[in-house]
């Protein structure tokens, strides 16, 4: 196997490869760009016009997605997967990956769409670098752009595998992409309704990609991900890479639960209180009238929505950041 196929090993060791460019026996070009970043380019005669960005490790302790990308890349390096798409593999936060921590100084996935310009430290520098890598990768015109940012969650979830679909004013969500997510094993999709500062929101809003944050289960250390079943996603990614997918227009959305964001719960001060158990799961249902949270002054979040649920509850975030999202079943969908 080509040495560049061991990108994860190089990244965890903090090593730079001796050879920056290698070719497989089938003429697939692999090029190391910087720490945790590798471009894969098929021979021109096999290129089907898709640019696919696959990222994982934005949070360093979310190892199942990292291992998934490692398997795909090694299979390409061995010639077992024969790409027809250009691919950019990104391991987002190498420093945090090496220590098994969520981040080094601050949450990298809250520093995109220019947010890194108001911060400092290793994550701010990395967010800027990742934006530049994505922008350069997606710069060729008249190509299809797709980005999957793969994660696992801090806590358990009543719906284990789900996607977050970013928002841009005037741009409709794609039925075909929802069908692709369903085929990849996603049980639910959260359709966002405002701009965001996460990585997938940057590539969706600024670079015109179809982009998604995928949550695949609960975060566990390297080598302990037997309980995170990514078989359907792995198969679908291989099919996307090789250009062997069945037509998306024929795929069904049956069984795919769609939600929209009703409100965000923002932590304003150290007086913030979230009235949920520490081990509450994502997609936990909330009854009408429930006092979900309160903050300084008389700021209160009381559940008013029918069928409301909570995702990403985290009272330990910094002041000014989101401490949770109240979601509800999506209604009156407008899909492209």
Per residue in 160-188, pLDDT (tens digit) is 999 999 999 999 999 999 999 999 999 99
User: What digits encode the pLDDT tens for the residues 189-223?
Assistant: 999 988 999 999 999 999 999 999 999 987 777 77
Task: Check if the beta carbon of residue 97 is closer than 8 Å to that of residue 60.
Answer: yes
**215 a catalytic residue:** yes
State the catalytic residue, choosing from 39, 129, 160, 215.
215
DSSP 46: G
Task: Confirm or deny that 147 is annotated as ligand binding.
Answer: no
Give me the residue label for tokens 């890194």. 116
Interval 71-89 mean pLDDT: 97
Rounded to two decimals, what is the model's pTM? 0.93
Which of 79, 56, 76 minimizes the C-alpha distance to 228?
A: 56
User: What digits encode the pLDDT tens for the residues 261-270?
Assistant: 999 999 999 9
Q: Strand, helix or coil at 228?
A: coil
Interval 293-298 mean pLDDT: 91
What is the spatial distance between Cα 236 and Cα 180, in angstroms, rounded to a whole number? 8
- The correct answer on CATH 2.40.50.630 for the domain covering 269-329 is yes
Task: Confirm or deny that 173 is annotated as ligand binding.
Answer: no
What is the spatial distance between Cα 279 and Cα 180, in angstroms, rounded to a whole number? 31
Is pLDDT at 227 greater than 70 in this prediction? no
Report how far apart, in Å, the C-alpha atoms of 269 and of each of 62, 166, 291, 320 are: 28, 27, 18, 8
CA trace torsion 75, 80, 86, 91 (10° rounding): 0
More confident residue, 326 or 253: 326
Interval 286-305 mean pLDDT: 94
Question: For residue 177, which phi and psi values (nearest 5 degrees)?
Answer: -70, -35
Half-sphere exposure in the Cβ direction for 228 (13 Å, CA): 28
What is the spatial distance between Cα 320 and Cα 197, in angstroms, rounded to a whole number? 13
pLDDT of residue 332: 66
Give every CB contact of residue 126 below 8 A, 6+ residues apart in sequence.
Answer: 92, 93, 95, 108
Interval 294-312 mean pLDDT: 94
Interval 278-290 mean pLDDT: 95
More confident residue, 301 or 118: 301
Sheet holding 291-294, edge to edge: 273-274, 291-294, 300-302
Give me the long-range contacts of 115-121 (CB less than 8 A, separation at least 24). 115/197
Is pLDDT at 225 greater than 80 in this prediction? no
User: What digits encode the pLDDT tens for the residues 110-161?
Assistant: 999 988 998 889 999 999 999 999 999 999 999 999 999 999 988 889 999 9
Is pLDDT at 336 greater than 90 in this prediction? no
Is pLDDT at 275 greater than 80 in this prediction? yes
Task: Confirm or deny that 59 is annotated as ligand binding.
Answer: yes
Fold observed for domain 3-250: Aminopeptidase (3.40.630)
Q: Which helix (H) or strand (E) holds 182?
A: helix 175-183
User: What digits encode the pLDDT tens for the residues 36-61?
Assistant: 999 999 999 999 999 999 999 999 99
Task: Check if the beta carbon of residue 59 is closer than 8 Å to that of residue 109.
Answer: yes
pLDDT of residue 249: 65
What's the sign of the alpha-carbon dihedral 152, 155, 159, 163?
Answer: negative
Band (pLDDT 50/70/90 cuts) for residue 31 is: very high
What is the spatial distance between Cα 212 and Cα 281, in angstroms, rounded to a whole number? 21
Band (pLDDT 50/70/90 cuts) for residue 250 is: low
pLDDT of residue 229: 87
Task: Check if the beta carbon of residue 181 is closer than 8 Å to that of residue 211.
Answer: no
Q: What is the domain partition of the chain in residue ranges?
A: 3-250, 269-329
Interval 294-303 mean pLDDT: 93
- Percent of the chain, pLDDT > 70? 98
């Amino acid at each position: 196997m080509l040495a560049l196929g061991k990108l994860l090993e190089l990244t965890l060791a903090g090593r730079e490869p001796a050879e920056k460019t290698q070719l497989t026996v089938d003429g697939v070009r692999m090029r190391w760009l910087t720490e945790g970043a590798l471009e894969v380019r098929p021979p021109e005669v096999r290129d089907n016009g898709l640019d696919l960005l696959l990222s994982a490790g934005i949070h360093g302790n979310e190892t199942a997605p990292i291992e998934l990308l490692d398997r795909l890349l090694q299979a390409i390096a061995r010639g077992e997967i024969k790409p027809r798409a250009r691919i950019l593999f990104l391991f987002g936060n190498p420093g945090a990956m090496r220590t098994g921590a969520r981040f080094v100084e601050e949450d990298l996935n809250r520093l995109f769409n220019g947010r890194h310009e108001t911060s400092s430290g290793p994550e701010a520098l990395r967010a800027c670098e990742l934006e530049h890598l994505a922008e350069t990768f997606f710069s060729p015109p008249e190509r299809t752009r797709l980005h999957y940012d793969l994660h696992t969650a801090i806590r358990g979830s009543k719906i284990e595998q789900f996607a977050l679909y970013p928002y841009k004013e005037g741009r409709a969500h794609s039925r075909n992409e929802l069908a692709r997510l369903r085929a990849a094993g996603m049980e639910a999709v959260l359709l966002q309704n405002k701009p965001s500062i996460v990585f997938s929101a940057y590539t969706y809003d600024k670079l015109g990609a179809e982009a998604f944050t995928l949550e695949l289960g609960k975060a566990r250390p390297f080598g302990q991900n037997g309980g995170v079943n990514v078989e359907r996603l792995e198969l679908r990614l291989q099919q996307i890479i090789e250009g062997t997918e069945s037509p998306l227009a024929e795929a069904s959305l049956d069984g795919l639960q769609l939600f929209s964001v009703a409100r965000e719960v923002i932590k304003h001060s150290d007086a913030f209180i979230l009235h949920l158990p520490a081990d509450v799961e994502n997609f936990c249902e909330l009854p009408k009238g429930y006092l979900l949270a309160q903050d300084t002054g008389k700021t209160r979040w009381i559940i008013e929505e029918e069928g409301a649920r909570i995702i990403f509850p985290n009272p330990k975030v910094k002041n000014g950041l989101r401490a949770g999202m109240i979601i509800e079943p999506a209604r009156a969908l407008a899909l492209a």
